[in-house]
Every structure is written in C-alpha cells, then in structure tokens.
Amino acid sequence: MVKAMTDAGLPENAVEVSADITPTGLAVDAIEAAAPVEDSCIIGQVRDGEVAISVLPVLDSGKCFVGGGA
C-alpha cells in the first residue's frame, strides 16, 4: 500500500496505513492507506482483491485516520 501511494507521488512520511491484523491475530477484511494532499485525503482501500479510491476532507488533526497512525 505504501509503495502504491509513493509511486503515485505522495511522500512516504505522509502515508498512513491501517492495521493488517486484528488484535486477536486474524487477517483484516480490508487494508487502507491514506495521505493528506492540501485539504483532502487520498484514501486507497483493498478488499477482496478489489481496489477503491476515495477523496475525503483532512481531519482537524491534519491526518486522514482517527488516531493518526503512520
């Protein structure tokens, strides 16, 4: 996910990635990566081998994900 985002021109240190494993050790249903671009977040999601891209507003924290993990 990070490689796809950086290949698209987003800086690696700006890319946030969701967890790829649950707290109980199971694989997640979907993984997301996001990066702020001006006042928007470019969000990519992979679920069941399908890719979806969304553009949403940046959070007040300046991050794209709640908690702002990178």
Residue 66 within any structural domain of the chain: no
pLDDT at 65 over 60: yes
Residue 70 located in a structural domain: no
Q: What is the mean pLDDT of residues 34-61?
A: 94
Residue percentage of the chain with pLDDT more than 90: 79
**Number of domain units in the chain:** 1
Average pLDDT, the chain: 90
Position 1 scores a pLDDT of: 86
Residue 29 lies in a domain: yes
At residue 51, the pLDDT reads 92
Q: Is the pLDDT of residue 17 over 50?
A: yes
Q: Residue 69's pLDDT band (boundaries 50, 70, 90)?
A: very low
Q: Assess if residue 33 is contained within a domain.
A: yes
Percent helix, strand, coil in the chain (nearest 5)? 15, 40, 45
Neighbours of 44 (CB within 10 A): 19
Find the domain containing 25 and state its range.
2-57
